[in-house]
């Protein structure tokens, strides 16, 4: 028996909700009294539970009317709605690279999906030092399929406009990205924070560098004004659950129509953070290899989808021209995504080091001085990228420059 | 007494509707039996009436469930809704450069606005040979204010996203633009038509020119994927009513969020059509002067709005950087609009000559051979522009090339 107004669910409430949803209850098996409820929330925003029964398990996520880790920060409840819409849109496009959608409750703002077992959060796996070379290319495949399939290249514009309309309502989380990624780090703001005093001169340099600020303005404008495809919107290494042979993108609550390079850049930026947090040359080379493999795979898959013979894309942007010039135009479109990727990656690195929400990557470094040096290395790298957008034109340039930072902080 | 379902209004129906709308009835004065109803429809889509009473006049527009000039072409009724939304959004931004909004009836799909008197449709005035040098710069002012004021430069992104959502529902008319401007002219399609056999080889050249087709693909993608500002969406010289000293933009039913250069380009493209339809060197020079004055005025006003001191723009895209580099970035943004303007202008010329909906401009030329030569001149010019996007980089280049066509068809 589901109550008809929103309330935060405890274990009993969860059992009661699920007992009214046959597709989920059936998967768990048995009767509600046999269902184990286990909280696994570790993100910033929502309550997350694993519910297990005699024959199966599901994962249940509920929005709270505030930020989970900061209840004074009030927030509307609609984020699981957008995650659910995102999942329903991309799941058919990406095969097994995300979770199965099971149920959404619009009153309780609860999303129920397949439970993953044996998977760990990719960031944690990286911090443990695993080397799983297939994960990054899988993310390339994921982004290629999810973005191509929701773009004007694959769909009639009427469908794209309808989807854009839906996700354009996701303003609360889009505002968070705008403020935390594209605004606060570039000025004095109480939400910014960093422990290491040696970062401060770098921060002041960044804030007074006109080319850097103009690059950020450009990225911010592109983020809001290039609705190329449905994005995940928060595709960091904490939004990926994986084992060596199976990878899933989760947590699409920031979904919006935007530039494809934003998803690519979030992912690359978080690999760059991992790179600088790894005081080990072999692991650093593996990360460079991962970024390269991610991009190569994304690029190849996107082009393959675009040039499918059997089922030519039914999108409004189907080609008018064919032949070598048309191929060059496709490559130019991908170069635009490449430039975006590098810019958004750099912006992500900066905000994760001096902004509100840091990542755990650097926690693996015990020595505070070394940790500060590694953070400074990452910040200086990102600053260099934004300050030299005219010079660093390909991901190859980007990775060469990253490789030259091998000794930073080691 | 208004009936509660849609029906096409006749004079009696119009009197009945208006008698229930005090703001309109009050403007007309007297009683309904004193109101004269006079049909002025001359466009393709809707019924338009002037209603006059003892103390005033209004203009009433009603959508039909089909295209007015082709009743077999069925069409939803919502276009007056979008015109009304457009008018309410831009009127406060552009002062007297459009009409006053008076009433919208969502059941009858009727929009009532201020009636203009003494104004003529700008295209007709041009065809009569008037030389009113202030009209084109006023359109520059209009576009600068309407687009800046609805963009992320002036508004918080939440407001822009809400407006984008509203206008993203205008899919019927957006589909018409897509098909008639960006698709049909570039392939064999029954809606295309031209009388002059001498155009056919040019049409075949256009359709087999890879650079031209890629330029059109690029414009089409930008039209659908660069929601910079609220556009009029159909800003040809028939959507402007003017006298020498007062100019109004009307008929915003095609309104959508798109690239600012689309509105600029529609206007410029229609002046180019007029240019080639004028077998008179003086009038041709006046048109070149008008296009230049339009652009100069748009450019200056847009920058002025952007750099206002007293009331700095409250938009999400407020500057992070200041100084000379920031000014250069503003100019780069306007250069992007300039490139769009030239491209969309060329696409507009092509579709008005070989596509479905021609313009009346060339009707002033009595001799069919001369008319054909003039049309061929316009088509060749537009083709040259799209085929040479890399060479024709500024509106100055564009106008120089236009000037060199002075003898075509004369
Ligand atoms: N389908 C799943 N199966 C098993 N565990 C999951 C599943 N989805 C999420 N989890 C676990 O729950 C945690 C929180 O999930 P998620 O990242 O979706 O929550 P969130 O509150 O939205 O996080 P954030 O604040 O980063 O947006 C994950 O880090 C993971 O450990
Ligand atoms: N406010 C007004 N005052 C006086 N006359 C007007 C007014 N608005 C429109 N008209 C007249 O009515 C005609 C048709 O108006 P309008 O262009 O808005 O109609 P339409 O059917 O939408 O045209 P189109 O098919 O070009 O979109 C105009 O060309 C003009 O002559």
Q: How much is the pLDDT for B279?
A: 79
- Which chain A residues are within 8 Å of B226, Cβ to Cβ? 225-226
Strands A36-39 vs A229-231: parallel, antiparallel or unpaired: unpaired
Asked whether the predicted pLDDT for residue A143 surpasses 70, the reply is yes
Report which ligand 1 atom has the smallest distance to the Cα of A236: 26
Helix (H) or strand (E) holding B71: strand B70-74
What are B68-109's pLDDT values in tens digits? Answer: 888 999 999 999 999 999 999 999 999 999 999 999 999 999
pLDDT the model gives residue A1:
43
Which comes out higher in pLDDT, residue A404 or A60?
A60
Q: Which residues of A28-42 are buried (b: 16+ CB within 10 A; e: fewer)?
A: beeebeebebeeeee
For residue B93, the model assigns a pLDDT of: 97
Q: Quick check: B217 pLDDT over 90?
A: yes
Ligand nearest to the CA of A45: 1
Query: How far A42 CA sits from the closest chain B CA (Å)?
Result: 29
Residue of A309, A325, A326 whose CA lies nearest to A317: A326
The stretch B163-192 carries a mean pLDDT of 97
To probe the interface with B, which of A231, A257, A316 has the most B CB atoms within 10 Å? Answer: A316
Q: What is the ipTM of this complex?
A: 0.95
What pLDDT band is residue B4 in, cutting at 50, 70 and 90? confident
CB A258 within 8 A of CB A226: yes
Rounded CA separation A379/A402 (Å) = 12
Q: Is A242 helix (H, G, I), strand (E, B) or coil?
A: strand
CA distance A284 to A377: 13
Q: In this model, does residue B383 exceed pLDDT 50?
A: yes
Q: Is B292 on the interface with A (CB under 8 A)?
A: no
Identify whether the C-beta of residue B48 lies closer than 8 Å to the C-beta of residue B60. yes
Residues B324-360: pLDDT tens digits? Answer: 988 999 999 999 999 999 999 999 999 999 999 999 9
With beta carbons less than 8 A apart as the criterion, state whether A181 and A348 touch: yes
At the fourth CATH level, the homologous superfamily of domain B3-114 is Phosphorylase Kinase; domain 1 (3.30.200.20)
Q: Residue B159's pLDDT band (boundaries 50, 70, 90)?
A: very high
The mean per-residue pLDDT over the stretch B170-192 comes to 97
Burial class (CB in 10 A: 0-12, 13-18, 19+), A230: buried
Q: Cα dihedral angle (B290, B295, B298, B302), rounded to 10 degrees?
A: -170
Question: Ligand 1: does its nearest atom lie under 6 Å from the Cβ of A64?
Answer: no
Per-residue tokens: B218: 């690029």
A199-226 residue pLDDT tens: 999 999 999 999 999 999 999 999 999 9
Q: How wide is the angle at C-alpha B191 spanned by C-alphas B188 and B193, nearest 5°?
A: 80
| Residue B1: predicted pLDDT | 43
Q: Reply yes or no on whether the pLDDT at B409 is more than 90.
A: no
Q: How much of chain B exceeds pLDDT 90, in percent?
A: 90
How is chain B split into domains, by residue range? 3-114, 120-407
pLDDT band, very low/low/confident/very high, at A3 (cuts 50, 70, 90):
low
The verdict on A223 touching B (C-beta cutoff 8 Å) is no
pLDDT by residue (tens digit) across B10-63? 999 999 999 999 999 999 999 999 999 999 998 888 999 999 999 999 999 999
Do A3-114 and A120-407 have matching folds? no
- Statement: residue B314 has pLDDT above 90: no
Cβ neighbours, 10 Å, residue A24: 20
Q: Are B122 and B287 in contact (CB under 8 A)?
A: no
Structural tokens at position A400: 């060469």
Contacts of A226 in chain B (CB under 8 A): 225-226
Q: Does position B200 have pLDDT exceeding 80, yes or no? A: yes
Average of per-residue pLDDT values in chain B = 95
Burial class of residue B352 (count of CB atoms within 10 Å of its CB; 0-12, 13-18, 19+): buried
Pair A230, A90: CB distance under 8 Å: yes
Mean pLDDT to the nearest integer, B289-317: 89
pLDDT of residue A308: 87
Q: Which CATH number fits domain B120-407: 3.90.1200.10, 2.60.40.10, 3.30.2010.10, 4.10.640.10?
A: 3.90.1200.10
Cα dist from B32 to B24, B56, B59, B60, B245, whole Å: 11, 13, 15, 15, 33
- E-state strands within A86-132: 101-105, 110-114, 120-121
Distance, in Å, from the CA atom of A218 to the CA atom of A13, rounded to the nearest integer, reads: 47
Give residue-wise pLDDT tens across range A222-239.
999 999 999 999 999 999
Query: B157, A171: Cβ pair inside 8 Å?
Result: yes
Percent of chain B exceeding pLDDT 70 equals 97
- Stated as kind and residue range, the H or E segment containing A99 is none
- Segment A242-246 mean pLDDT: 96
Indicate the pTM of the whole model. Answer: 0.96
CA of A251 to the centre of ligand 1 (A): 6
Mean residue pLDDT across chain A: 95
């Amino acid at each position: 028996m589901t109550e008809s107004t929103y309330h935060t669910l405890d274990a009993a409430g969860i059992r009661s909700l699920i007992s009214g949803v046959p597709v989920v209850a059936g998967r768990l098996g048995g009767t509600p009294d046999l269902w184990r409820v286990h909280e696994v929330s570790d993100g910033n925003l929502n309550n997350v539970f694993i519910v297990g029964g005699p024959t199966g398990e599901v994962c249940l996520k509920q929005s709270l009317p505030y930020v989970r880790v900061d209840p004074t920060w009030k927030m509307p409840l609609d984020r699981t709605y957008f995650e659910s819409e995102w999942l329903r849109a991309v799941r058919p496009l990406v095969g097994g690279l995300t979770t199965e959608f099971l149920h959404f409750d619009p009153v309780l703002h609860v999303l129920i999906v397949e439970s993953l077992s044996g998977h760990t959060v990719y960031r944690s796996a990286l911090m443990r030092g695993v080397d799983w070379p297939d994960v990054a290319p899988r993310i390339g495949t994921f982004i290629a399929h999810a973005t191509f399939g929701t773009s004007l290249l694959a769909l009639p514009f009427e469908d794209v406009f309808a989807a854009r309309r839906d996700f354009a309502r996701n303003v609360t989380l889009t505002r968070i990205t705008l403020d935390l990624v594209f605004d606060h780090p570039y000025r004095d703001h109480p939400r910014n924070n960093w422990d290491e005093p040696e970062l401060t001169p770098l921060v002041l340099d960044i804030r007074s560098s006109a080319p850097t600020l103009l690059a950020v303005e450009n990225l911010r404008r592109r983020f809001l004004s290039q609705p190329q495809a449905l994005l995940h919107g928060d595709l960091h290494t904490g939004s990926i659950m994986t084992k060596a042979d199976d990878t899933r993108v989760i947590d699409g609550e920031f979904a919006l129509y935007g530039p494809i390079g934003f998803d690519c850049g979030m992912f690359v930026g978080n690999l760059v953070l991992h790179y600088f947090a790894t005081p080990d040359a072999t692991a650093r080379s593996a990360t460079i290899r991962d970024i390269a493999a991610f991009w190569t795979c994304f690029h190849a898959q996107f082009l393959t989808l675009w040039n499918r013979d059997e089922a030519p894309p039914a999108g409004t942007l189907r080609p008018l021209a064919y032949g070598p010039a048309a191929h060059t135009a496709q490559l130019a479109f991908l170069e635009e995504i490449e430039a975006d990727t590098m810019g958004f990656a750099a912006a992500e690195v900066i905000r994760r080091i001096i902004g509100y929400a840091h990542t755990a990557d650097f926690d693996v470094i015990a020595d505070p001085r070394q940790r500060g040096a590694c953070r400074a290395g990452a910040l200086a790298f990102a600053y260099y990228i934004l300050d030299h957008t005219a010079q660093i034109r390909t991901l190859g340039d980007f990775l060469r420059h990253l490789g030259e930072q091998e000794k930073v902080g080691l």
